[in-house]
Amino acid sequence: MVQLRASLEALVLQAWRDRWSELEWSINLKQALASDDGELNKLCGLLLRQATLSEVPNKLMFTYLNFTVAAQVVSHSSLLEAIVEYRDFGREQCIEAILEQLNQSRDKLRCESQDAFQCERLCELLSRLMGWLMDGMEHSILVNDEQLLNELLITALPYLTSPFVALCMYFDALNHPDVCQLQIDRAAELCAKVVAYPSMPDIVKNEMIAFHRKLSSIPLFHSNAPISPLLDCREISPGNPHPAIITLSAVYGSFRVTKRHEEVAHMLQAAQSALGLPWWLVMSDLVRGALLIQLDPGAAARDSTITAFVYLKIPRILKEFIGAGVPYGELVRALEHVVAYHALLNSLDNKNKFNCYSNLLDQLKASGLINDEDYNHLLDMRNRERVGLIEAQPQNQQGIQLVLRAEGTVTTLERSFNNENALNPQKLVQMMSHMILSGGKSFDYICASSAATGKLARFAGKLALFNINSERL
């Protein structure tokens, strides 16, 4: 890592001395890459520092920076991270060059083909970018630089107007509500200062008011809020809108355990509203994504969590949609769309040695989400494509049965924790000890079930209290 970083620093200096063209830069950069992504992500910061060493920006270095990002050598997240670290707002020409770089990058922002961490990182960096822009605004107000304030606002407003950026910032606001509120409060203070400034042009005052209003609307970015215009899917996935919702699923993919089904449903409603996708496609991609998780090579290590997510949490999320007014026909169409993915379902059945789609339909029917007629229709569609596959055996479905049984166990345990007379405390200690000491598998399913049904925090709290009290026995 250290060797690559030194190599990149030497490369930047040589490029500057020899005044390489974009083509020469790309050739030499390619030769220098041994590819260590951790160090590569620092390339933007290195180039930006060289480009802003003096009062006058180094146009050649900015050319290399723009080319490196455009060629996807580094991500736009790396560029944003480098920019928000730059603090010398007194160098106006350098700030103007950075703003130009931001303007060029705005419409190229993507979450496509990135894991959950990278998408969450982009959401956080976009939120930090708003903070950085406000730092610049505060400086420009302090030194009475109307031109710089205007340029900062001209850059900030299109970012907030972009539905993709607004959606990313909405997701970050869910993760960091306090930070979001602090930014809104700060924008209000800046707006009050600008409006009260006697010599400030009206156009700048109006831009500042618009910035405050748009930033304040981020926490309200949900399916009940009017969002216009709706985001064209091509803005996220050019020429291939179909996986767009799965792309955004990466943003809240890590919420599979920690977020309740109501919260996940709310996030999906926000995504559907922003993307303008039909509900059947949103639900189809949600179910398909849940099934795909089971084919993850590392899925066996967290089998109980994934099983609970698919067979307990997914039906609850879908029930939230129907309860919120999504037509029943959209759900049926979504399930018909999923059953057409024969290769996916056959791979799952071969791996698990049972009919996964049938088990999911069983849970949807038990939840009252689909009627008998549609259940039989969908089951027939799936069974026609299962020729030659291993027939389901009861022992192969043990994981599902354990998860479903664990749901009732969680309720029983909670009742026992609340009521000292419900179960002898000594017997309860023995039962809990047996669950944990016998390989811990039963306890894993109990925790997975409580997570999928939104009871994890409450159950963990009561379990911790029970643990303290049991030490006195």
Q: pLDDT tens digit string along 215-260?
A: 988 765 433 333 332 233 223 333 333 333 333 344 344 445 556 7
pLDDT tens for residues 80-100?
A: 999 999 999 999 999 999 999
State the pTM of this model.
0.52
Q: Read off the pLDDT band of 150 (50, 70, 90).
A: very high
- 229: preceding bond cis by omega (within 30 degrees): yes
pLDDT of residue 326: 92
pLDDT of residue 321: 92
To the nearest whole number, what is the mean pLDDT of the chain? Answer: 75
Name the strand (E) or helix (H) holding 346. Answer: helix 342-352
pLDDT of residue 314: 87
Task: Give CA separation, 447 vs 165, 407, 411, 453, in Å.
Answer: 35, 9, 12, 10
Per-residue b or e along 35-49, where b marks 16 or more CB atoms closer than 10 Å to that residue's CB: eeeebbbbbbbbbbe
pLDDT of residue 41: 64
Whether residue 291 contacts residue 356, with contact meaning beta carbons closer than 8 Å, is answered with yes
The whole-angstrom distance between residue 414's C-alpha and the CA centroid of its chain comes to 32
**For residue 416, pLDDT beyond 80:** no
Whether residue 337 contacts residue 291, with contact meaning beta carbons closer than 8 Å, is answered with no
pLDDT of residue 390: 58
Q: What is the DSSP letter of 225?
A: S
Cα radius of gyration rounded to whole Å, the chain: 27
pLDDT tens for residues 329-364?
A: 999 999 998 888 888 888 888 887 778 888 899 989
Backbone dihedral region for residue 19 (phi beyond 0: left; psi -120 to 50: alpha; all else: beta): left
- Residue listed under structure tokens 């259940």: 375
Q: Which pair of tokens denotes residue 424?
A: 């002898």
pLDDT of residue 388: 62
pLDDT of residue 187: 93
Q: Which pair of tokens denotes residue 88?
A: 């010398």
- Highest mean pLDDT, choosing among 168-177, 206-215, 227-236, 271-280: 206-215
pLDDT tens for residues 187-208?
A: 999 999 999 888 889 999 999 9
- Residue listed under structure tokens 């620093």: 9
Cα torsion for 360, 362, 367, 369, to the nearest 10°?
A: 80
Q: Read off the pLDDT band of 53 (50, 70, 90).
A: confident
What residue ranges do the domains of the chain occupy? 1-108, 115-260, 278-392, 403-470
- Residue listed under structure tokens 């894991």: 115
